[in-house]
């Protein structure tokens, strides 16, 4: 028989949680299509999943969650979907900043400024800044994010001396994710098994969890299942168990 939420929660070892979970929120479009609704309806429902997922993160005591909300390749979608996604992020932040502050959450935006309107950027950056005195869980929103661009941009900013002294350990300090530990677990919804340019450098030793559940249906119970699956893995980081 399928386990209920409390049973799953009881099985979870709170001492062995991943420090950082990255989430590729896929399947909003298919979720909407199944209901004969526009794709943006699916994205709006997806934003509600983000809310409950963040809530669970706080309840469990997760340290970092990174949500892949808009990739550098998502500009290739139809103009009204792109505009809708930009508007959805801004509206969601306006609504959520008071809740994030109440829950002591730090919000960070990870991504490029390329292609985004100055006024829009100022607004979303100002909102994120309003949470920067908090010291609880950190929610990163990968927005206008691309792993390849992140790496190339980091290299372009280095001086010849810095390049000569570069090491695999120090390179991360130049990425948008500087100061954030690498993700221990990367979750992708909707059954697709690819990274899609998400945290390329940082995911070298991440554990992957793919579920067929579409992102708008990815509720707290689904997140517990992903975390339990993670806890069943043996991480070797190239060594032996
Ligand atoms: C992928 O599903 C989803 C996206 C590209 C957008 C994700 C955005 C949100 C969940 C809402 C806003 C986020 C925040 C943090 C408030 P898809 O459209 O590729 O789905 P499909 O593969 O079924 O078409």
Domain count, the chain: 1
pLDDT exceeds 80 at position 1: no
pTM, two decimal places:
0.97
pLDDT in tens, 125-166: 999 999 999 999 999 999 999 999 999 999 999 999 999 999
Residue 5 placed within a domain? no
- Of the candidates 148, 154, 100, 147, the residue with the CA atom closest to the CA atom of residue 127: 100
Residue-range definition of the domain harbouring residue 95: 17-230
Residue 176 belongs to domain with CATH number? 3.40.1180.10
Mean pLDDT on 83-90: 98
Is 27 a pocket residue for ligand 1 (Cβ < 6 Å)? yes
CA distance to 43, 70, 162, per residue, from 196 (Å): 18, 11, 29
CB of residue 23 inside a 6 A radius of ligand 1: no
Q: Is 29 in the pocket of ligand 1 (CB under 6 A)?
A: yes
CA dist 111 and 164 (Å) reads: 26
Measure 232 CA to ligand 1 centroid, in angstroms.
Answer: 28
236 in any annotated domain: no
Angstrom CA distances, 217 to 31, 190, 214, 222, 227, stand at 8, 10, 5, 8, 16
Residue 82 lies in a domain: yes
Catalytic residues: 26, 74
pLDDT digits (tens, 9 = 90+) for 198-222: 999 999 999 999 999 999 999 999 9
pLDDT tens digits for range 4-25: 999 999 999 999 999 999 999 9
- CA-214 nearest atom, ligand 1: 23
pLDDT band at 109 (very low <50, low <70, confident <90, very high): very high
> Is 188 part of any domain?
yes
Q: Which atom of ligand 1 is closest in space to residue 49's alpha carbon?
A: 10
Please tell me the distance between residue 47's alpha carbon and the centre of ligand 1 in angstroms. 8
**Does residue 9 belong to any structural domain of this protein?**
no
Q: Per residue in 113-122, pLDDT tens?
A: 999 999 999 9
Strand, coil or helix: 157: coil
Beta strands (DSSP E) in the chain are 20-24, 64-71, 106-110, 138-145, 185-188, 207-210
Residue of 66, 85, 65 lying closest to 74 (CA atoms): 85
Instruction: Tally Cβ neighbours within 10 Å of residue 144.
Output: 23
Note whether residue 3 is domain-resident: no
Q: In angstroms, what is the span from residue 42 Cα to ligand 1's centroid?
A: 8
């Amino acid at each position: 028989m399928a386990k209920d939420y409390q049973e799953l929660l009881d099985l979870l070892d709170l001492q062995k949680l991943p420090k950082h979970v990255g989430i590729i929120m896929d399947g909003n479009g298919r979720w909407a299509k199944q209901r004969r609704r526009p794709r943006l309806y699916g994205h709006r429902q997806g934003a509600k999943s983000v809310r409950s997922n963040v809530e669970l993160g706080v309840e469990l005591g997760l340290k970092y969650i990174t949500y892949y909300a808009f990739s550098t390749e998502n500009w290739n979608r139809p103009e009204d979907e792109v505009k809708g996604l930009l508007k959805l992020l801004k509206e969601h932040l306006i609504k959520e900043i008071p809740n994030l502050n109440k829950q002591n959450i730090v919000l960070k935006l990870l991504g490029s400024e390329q292609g985004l309107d100055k006024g829009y950027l100022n607004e979303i950056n100002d909102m994120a800044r309003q949470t920067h005195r908090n010291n609880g869980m950190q929610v990163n929103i990968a927005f206008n994010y691309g792993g390849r661009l992140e790496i190339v941009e980091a290299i372009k900013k280095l001086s010849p001396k810095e390049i000569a002294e570069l090491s695999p350990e120090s390179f991360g300090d130049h990425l948008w994710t500087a100061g954030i530990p690498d993700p221990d677990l990367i979750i992708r919804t909707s059954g697709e098994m690819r990274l899609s340019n998400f945290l390329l450098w940082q995911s070298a030793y991440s554990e992957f969890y793919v579920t067929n559940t579409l992102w708008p249906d990815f509720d707290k119970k689904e997140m517990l299942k992903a975390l339990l699956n993670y806890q069943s893995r043996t991480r070797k980081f190239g060594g032996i168990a």
